[in-house]
Amino acid sequence: MISTVGVRRAPLLLLPALLAVSSAQTPRLDHFERKIRPVIVEQCEACHSSAVDEPMGGLRLDSRDALRQGGQSGPAVVPGQPEHSLLLKALTYKDANLKMPPAGKLPEKVIADFRQWIADGAVDPRTTPPAEAASSETKEDGPGTPIEEGRKWWAFQPLRRRPALPASNPDWTERKIDGFILAKLDENNLQPSPPADPRTLIRRAFFDLTGLPPTCAQVEAFAADPSPDAYAGLIDALLDSPRYGERWGRHWLDVARWAEDHPTSESTNRPHPYAWRYRDWVIEAFNRDIPYDRFIRMQFAADLLPGFEPADMRALGYIGNSPMYHKDPRLSRDVIETLASDDWDERVDAVSRGLMGLTVACARCHDHKFDPITNNDYYALAGVFASTWLVKRPIVAMDPAEADKLVWDHERLYRIKGMVGNLKELDTIAPELHPRVGAMTEEVEKLETELAKDATPLTHAVVDCGVWIDGSTPTVTWIDLRPGQPRDLPIFIRGNVANTGDIVPRRFLTVLSKGAPEPFRQGSGRLELADKIVNDAAPLTARVWVNRVWGWHFGQHLVRTPSDFGTQGQRPTHPVLLDDLAARFVQNGWSLKWLHREIMLSAAYRQASRQIETAAKADPDNRWLWRYAPRRLDIESWRDAVLQVSGELNLDMGGPSEPVDTECEARRTVYSEISRGRPHAIFQLYDYPDATQHTPQRQITTTPLQQLFVLNSAWFNYQSNSLAQRVRHIKSAREKVRALYQYTLLRNPTTRELGQAITFLQSREADLGYPPWPEYTQALLSTNEFIYLR
């Protein structure tokens, strides 16, 4: 609640305060800092501070002067006289009309601390209330952390390689990472886990890098390979597999909140038929290990980069497939502009949280309450998106003029067709519209006929084009597109489009700019924005990405709020490690495959996952990485694994999406249809993220409804049947069971497991007259062992 805010801010204030005081006062000051200040911050400041517009009773407790001056009832504290200090009276709850804090009396010990503090002279170093310190004269507010102070924030500091730490256990460490991990384990009196056995390790590496399990033969070969390079060789081979891009590209699609339609699908925001082309580009980009900085730049402005190939146009789907809201032209200008500004807001949010771990969207209505981001910063970024428009663009080489015509013909058809339906109804009551609606209807027909003849392959992309909302006619609101003309947005005061303030030139965030931010000058500014993200903001961008990659490898992040590196987020558990790894990532050409090797070759990654009771007690969250965190497979890995094991998996790559849960659909899950409005049931069941906005990370739940899918769905039954078919040619029941164990669990059954299988089959045979193998294979596919990554 509010109190947490105060607590988090306290450390920022602590340091200057301590420096300002002479040493003679130190014990008393110490008493204040340790016993008094935290209580005031936590218990009182929500209602009694300069940060509150109207402090209750006129009383502020966040500076010495305010405290002594007091509120409507008089001074809160009389130094040296606890019995005359209203503050103490309130705390003791003796006066029926003065009981504070209202939520309940504080413990006697805390009250005694206050009594002593007042008796000792109420030493209080707080000469300036924090809110005053934080706000400038001219602005009403100012961000919660002023810009200059904000520049010192840990996440914005330049990256630097750190010296390797001398390992307390040199036998354990494999890579530089391990020294940092070990140091934290030592600090917390924890031991790392022993290495995972090779069978576990190869399965882990396969799922991690390709999203698929190994075959039993691969497991056995790896387990039998005595070479010290076997594991490194395995990682290399997996990184070279096309399956790798399908797995890691999918991770990126989460960040990019990619989907093929909009949160709602009305006439003005119909689905995107070519959205899959962006998905395919992402997969290819991962397989080719395009440096991350270039990967980002291409997604904003592939068409403007040197070396542009027509197929790169697909990269623009990052913004080109953004969620869009229906804009019924009958609504008022303000309503439509609000909807448009919601669209821009979504993009600001996806870009800032997704790429930079910053909650810039919090600064839409006012300066950010906590982070060094101003209201102006927000509109400076939003302007870039108000100057780009979602269109379809060709992915083959074309004459520029022809391409331009094609793009705008398609754009007009999409937009006008969307409006016509709504306007036809209006037509009857607004006769003055009649000719215009008639012309639009004709134009739609004409464009449809013409474009039907054109077979140019298209992709959803963006162009530089300012967007204005035209409310000049009384009954219809038009979208006024001005290709090539960017739009600097005015501040919408408190987010209200009808109440505009100063116009803000498009530019990058102040706190991350080197010097004063320069306005963007090229078109919409999307290329300049991308350049800033990977240059000026490189330390932050690299940290955020390395942290995400770490999280996908380990199931948990170093910064556990992967999309919030601001003051409200968590600090890294291993700050030095994160810095060093991010620094080396950049030095190694932003190569993701380098990063995978560095992480996966570490001893930390190769640890066993088994719970150790003492460690679990000391560190239940495994913050210090005393083991590899076991977890449920995500929906893609699990579904793909079922398909591979059942022998059904179709490894065709790319192309239009297909439904995910029909029986015959056997392509990898990454090729499934992804809808924002109507996600497939299996995705809803298994924690697929809501693609209407950026989601920091997937949740993992375990519900009875998921198990109903396993027990009863036609899809799962079909796979169980297919798996049973795979062993149909084997005569002996025991051999069948052995083969099935090898397929599904990548090992041989134990004697008991063999016995269980036979018992089950015999008991069912007694009922049916034959052994129902699919019932058995379904059970095997349903085991925890199968869905569990360790």
Q: List residues binding another protein (CB under 8 A).
A: 1-2, 4, 46, 53-54, 102-104, 494-496, 499, 610-611, 613, 616, 620-621, 630-632, 681, 684, 690, 699-714, 717, 752-753, 755-757, 759-760, 763-764, 767, 775-776, 778-780, 782-785, 787-788, 790
Is 487 in contact with 504 (CB distance < 8 Å)?
no
Q: CB 619 → another protein: shortest distance, Å? A: 8
Which C-beta is closer to another protein: that of 20 or that of 705?
Answer: 705
Tokens of 633: 């497979």
Tokens of 284: 């290819």
Which C-beta is closer to another protein: that of 156 or that of 743?
Answer: 743
Element (H, E) at 492: strand 490-492
Which C-beta is closer to another protein: that of 306 or that of 620?
Answer: 620
Q: Is 314 left (phi over 0), alpha (psi -120 to 50) or beta?
A: alpha
Bridging pattern class, strands 478-483 and 490-492: unpaired
Residue whose pair of structure tokens reads 């075959």 in the numeric block: 215
Q: CB 764 → another protein: shortest distance, Å? A: 6
Which C-beta is closer to another protein: that of 662 or that of 701?
Answer: 701
Distance, CA of 507 to CA of 498 (rounded, Å): 23
Which C-beta is closer to another protein: that of 410 or that of 738?
Answer: 738
Q: Is 58 left (phi over 0), alpha (psi -120 to 50) or beta?
A: left
Distance, CA of 454 to CA of 520 (rounded, Å): 36
Which C-beta is closer to another protein: that of 404 or that of 775?
Answer: 775
The one-character DSSP state at 100 is: S
Distances (CA, A) of 246 to 95, 640, 649: 68, 11, 14
Report helix, strand or coil for 12.
helix
- Using alpha carbons, select from 426, 392, 433 the residue that is nearest to residue 409: 392
Distance, CA of 724 to CA of 777 (rounded, Å): 6
Q: CB 393 → another protein: shortest distance, Å? A: 32
Is 740 in contact with 780 (CB distance < 8 Å)?
yes
Q: CB 335 → another protein: shortest distance, Å? A: 11
Q: CB 756 → another protein: shortest distance, Å? A: 5
Which C-beta is closer to another protein: that of 149 or that of 334?
Answer: 334
Question: Cis omega before residue 101 (within 30°)?
Answer: yes
Which C-beta is closer to another protein: that of 192 or that of 245?
Answer: 192
CA 696 to chain centre: 2
Q: CB 496 → another protein: shortest distance, Å? A: 7
Which C-beta is closer to another protein: that of 658 or that of 687?
Answer: 687
Q: CB 760 → another protein: shortest distance, Å? A: 5
Q: CB 222 → another protein: shortest distance, Å? A: 21
Phi, psi (rounded to 5 degrees) for 389? -135, 145
Q: CB 672 → another protein: shortest distance, Å? A: 17
Q: CB 733 → another protein: shortest distance, Å? A: 15
Distance, CA of 151 to CA of 371 (rounded, Å): 10
Q: Half-sphere exposure (CA, 13 Å, Cβ side) for 188?
A: 22
Which C-beta is closer to another protein: that of 2 or that of 664?
Answer: 2
